[in-house]
Amino acid sequence: MYVLNFYSPVFVDQLKRGRKTATIRLGDKSSKYRKGHVVMVTVGFQHSPREKIFDAVIDAVEVKKASDVSPRDIEHDNPEFRRLEETLHFLEQIYGRAVERDDLVTVVRFSAILERREEISERMRPQAPSQN
């Protein structure tokens, strides 16, 4: 299983509330993340303990130029951002280098896998015979 890790604790709340459903990563990550793969979503710094938020399924993986990132991609990555410039600046902070509009990025969309034991148990229970 792969891990989709986020470094900023700011994202914990967004992830748990379902407001963050994508990540924009610098470079071509299509060989690492593929549609249909299950990943563990975590938050924490490299070489430090990480908090597991949930497991998720990868819904889509798109490699494109940074300039082609859509407003919808930006909103799903960070609901607080509206403009490409904000996203590029954020990527620069994470990767520690300048990010140009011609750089390749990978937009990874994901959906949380929720465990609702009560609902699953209810669906699995045999139905009582109907009374006439």
CATH number of residue 92's parent domain: 3.10.400.10
Q: Read off the pLDDT of residues 50-108 as tens digits, 9 standing for 90 and up.
A: 999 999 999 999 999 999 999 999 999 999 999 999 999 999 998 999 999 999 999 99
Q: Read off the pLDDT of residues 5-48 as tens digits, 9 standing for 90 and up.
A: 998 888 999 999 999 999 999 999 999 999 999 999 999 988 99
79 in a structural domain: yes
132 in a structural domain: no
Q: What is the model's pTM? A: 0.84
Report the pLDDT value the prediction gives residue 58, as an integer from 0 to 100. Answer: 98
Full residue range of the structural domain in which residue 18 is found: 2-124
Q: Residue 46's closest CA among 7, 102, 11, 104?
A: 7
Report the pLDDT value the prediction gives residue 116, as an integer from 0 to 100. Answer: 72
Helices (H), the chain: 10-16, 71-77, 84-95, 117-124
130 in a structural domain: no
Q: Read off the pLDDT of residues 108-124 as tens digits, 9 standing for 90 and up.
A: 999 999 887 665 566 56
13 in a structural domain: yes
On whether the CB atoms of residues 35 and 60 are closer than 8 A, the answer is yes
On whether the CB atoms of residues 49 and 103 are closer than 8 A, the answer is no
Total count of domains within the chain: 1
Report the pLDDT value the prediction gives residue 114, as an integer from 0 to 100. Answer: 86
Report the pLDDT value the prediction gives residue 119, as an integer from 0 to 100. Answer: 55
129 in a structural domain: no
User: Has residue 128 got a pLDDT over 60?
Assistant: no
